[in-house]
Amino acid sequence: MQIELRDPKKIMKLKRLGSFHQSKLSFLRSFLREFNSWDYKRELFELDNDGYGVAVYSFKKEQRKYSLVCFANKLDDNERSDRVIATKWDASFTLFDGIPTKKDIERLSLNVPRQEIGRMTYKELTLSRANKSMRAFNYVVECLSNGNQPSTKKLSEVGYLYRTTAVYGSGKFGLADRFRIKNRPEIHGPFRLEMMLVYFVRQFTIDQVNFISKNKNPRKAIELDKNIARSLGIGNSTGLGMAPFIVNHPILLNNWILARETALKKIREIKDVKQEDFNYFFECLKNSINNINTWNTDSDYQKEKIKILKIDLVKFIKYLEQEFDKKKEYLFNIIFNWVDSNLTEESIEYVVSLFLEPYDEIVDQLTPTMSADEEKFFNIPVERKIEDLRVIIERNYTEILNIDFNEDKNIQNFWFISKNKEEPRVANRFEEIGSELEQPLAIARDVKSLYIRIKNLKNSMTVSRFLADNNDLRHAVRRVFMVEKFPYSEIQDNIIGSELMPIDMLRLKLSFFGACKFDPRSDKWLRICMFQGAPLPDELKQFNDNWIYNSLN
């Protein structure tokens, strides 16, 4: 049986994309699968009694070595801020290419803690910073230094000791350009270096909390129990920076979604589903519900989503246990059709993620396709005709063409870069200044403008001739030709309209990273947790990929 890929016009709606969950294709999971044979070592750990100082962790395989260099600094409570405008953090980190010398560490100590205003070099690959979750960190120190293990129930309210507030890569602030390292086979997969940094930051936070506890009360202190340590992840506060990223990397976005959709299609096409594969899926489903119970948020928006998800999953389990005939062919296709007709978008996408769990062979083939070389498709095929442009727009932007951009509500927002931190922001066009400096993210509006502009032109006119007089729409022309080749490259929504929920865009990206515990703090930023339940670095060689459903159980 041949199953069609799901329609981009349906899947690429923001509400749907904002319902995506982590899956076996998510980067932190595929990172651990790919790196579980690497050797980990704590090379340096020079902290004072309060836990301030420098630490270095290395990760090696054959001749290749990467090192996480950590700087922990004193930070007054009134200086601690997760906002991007912060200038000081509890700890800062860089992933170094190789093993740093003493001289390298000296240089890095002057720059890494300064983050955006420091200067990195091509020897540094990624850069990050993090703040303590004071309630979790102090609580664990208090327990351990008094010889007690912390309560897992209490820790599960937070889920981590530190949360990062940014992870930079790809040439930012002088870091290595992507082209320098893109041919390294071990980091061909998406965001490998960012995942590596975050994974070792988690280990640093565990080592630091043990170290401080020991120094606080050397005679009584005990080490954090490994099971509890494993149940701690690393948090992350994420603002709008991620939103423009997915608009500005259309081919990468396409490749992520296409991989997921291809996996779903292949699984639905399996005629004889093995009993053990179905059972494994069902086991993951049931385990995952325990996880959902640990998702805490004050956001009414997210609470409602979690509530609906829980109700839907109870309904779904009842269907599988009572109504569903496991002896039929194309089991997962039958399940998908039921889910698609009976559950909400949030729950459909949750179940789609779970479908992937039994199928290593499908997922492992798709993981390498989830990177992209955007440069390859930068040049506009100017020899093409206006007719081509028109046909592609009509075929791929059907709903976009129905939006009336003369109405204020459809152009209410504009995206811009803030002057003080050079970070993306979104604001009301009619209330805030600066809309003339709008970033080119209003793809829907600009493609519609392009469509109107070419409406009365001759079909035979070349794009080259059109551009000679219409270079103001050059960026839109480029996009249209990309979407022709990459059907999942475009968000099929108006991201400057009054109904925009920016966190839907953040959640899309974070789900591919493998984040859990989405906790929106407003419609523009949220907190998440990564690597919660993942094996610790010294356990990687006895690695089990279903760790994600065992965290905090």
Partner 1 sequence: MRSFSEIETISKRASRGAGFSWGVSEEIGKSVRLLEMFGLPGILHLKNYLEKINNHNYQKITIISSDNISNNIPYCPISVGVNFLDQAYNLEKIENINFSNLAYPLLVVPFLSRSSEIIGKKILLNLENFKFLFNFNQSIISNFDNSLISKTTNFLISFNQNEDSFDEKTWDSLYKISQKTFVDETESSKKTSAGAGLTDND
Is 309 a binding residue for partner 1 by CB under 8 A? The answer is no
Q: Is residue 415 within 8 Å of 425, Cβ to Cβ?
A: yes
Q: Closest CB to partner 1 among 136 and 372? A: 372
Residue 240: name the closest of 86, 433, 444, 418 by CA: 418
Is 379 a binding residue for partner 1 by CB under 8 A? The answer is yes
**Options 6-14, 177-185, 213-221, 350-358: segment touching partner 1 (CB under 8 A):** 177-185
Q: Closest CB to partner 1 among 174 and 368? A: 174
Is 122 a binding residue for partner 1 by CB under 8 A? The answer is yes
Burial of 435 (0-12, 13-18, 19+ CB in 10 A): middle
For 187-210, the DSSP string reads G-STTHHHHHHHHHHHHHHHHHHH
Q: Output the smallest distance, CB 472 to partner 1, in A.
A: 4
Contacts of 417 (CB under 8 A, 6+ apart): 423, 424, 425, 437, 439
Contacts of 503 (CB under 8 A, 6+ apart): 18, 301, 520, 523, 524, 525, 526
Q: Output the smallest distance, CB 473 to partner 1, in A.
A: 7
Is 382 a binding residue for partner 1 by CB under 8 A? The answer is yes
- Quote the CA–CA distance of 15 and 283 in Å, as a whole number: 28
Among 175, 228, 443, 496, binds partner 1 (CB under 8 A): 175
For 7-49, the DSSP string reads PHHHHTSHHHHTT----TTSHHHHHHHHHTTSEEEEEEEEE-T
**Options 110-118, 165-173, 212-220, 307-315: segment touching partner 1 (CB under 8 A):** 165-173
Q: In the stretch 400-429, what mask flags binding to partner 1 with x, by CB under 8 A?
A: -----------------x------------
Q: Closest CB to partner 1 among 119 and 274? A: 119
Among all chains, which residue has been given the structure tokens 């931190």?
421
Among 50, 106, 179, 458, binds partner 1 (CB under 8 A): 179
Residue 57: phi and psi, rounded to 5, are: -120, 135
Q: Closest CB to partner 1 among 2 and 379? A: 379
Is 171 a binding residue for partner 1 by CB under 8 A? The answer is yes
Is 430 a binding residue for partner 1 by CB under 8 A? The answer is no
List the beta bridge partners of residue 66.
59, 97
Is 444 a binding residue for partner 1 by CB under 8 A? The answer is no
**Options 62-70, 226-234, 352-360, 476-484: segment touching partner 1 (CB under 8 A):** 476-484
Helix axes 474-485, 386-396, angle to 10 degrees: 70
Write the CA distances from 47 to 51, 59, 88, 202, 503, integer angstroms.
Answer: 5, 21, 18, 17, 38
Q: Closest CB to partner 1 among 143 and 175? A: 175
Q: How do 233-238 and 160-168 pair as beta strands?
A: parallel
Is 110 a binding residue for partner 1 by CB under 8 A? The answer is no
Is 301 a binding residue for partner 1 by CB under 8 A? The answer is no
Q: Output the smallest distance, CB 275 to partner 1, in A.
A: 49
Is 467 a binding residue for partner 1 by CB under 8 A? The answer is yes
Is 108 a binding residue for partner 1 by CB under 8 A? The answer is no
Half-sphere exposure of 447 (CA within 13 A, CB side): 31
Q: Output the smallest distance, CB 471 to partner 1, in A.
A: 5
Q: Closest CB to partner 1 among 246 and 477? A: 477
- Quote the CA–CA distance of 247 and 249 in Å, as a whole number: 6
Site for partner 1, rule CB under 8 A: 121-122, 170-179, 378-380, 382-383, 417, 440, 463-464, 467-469, 471-478
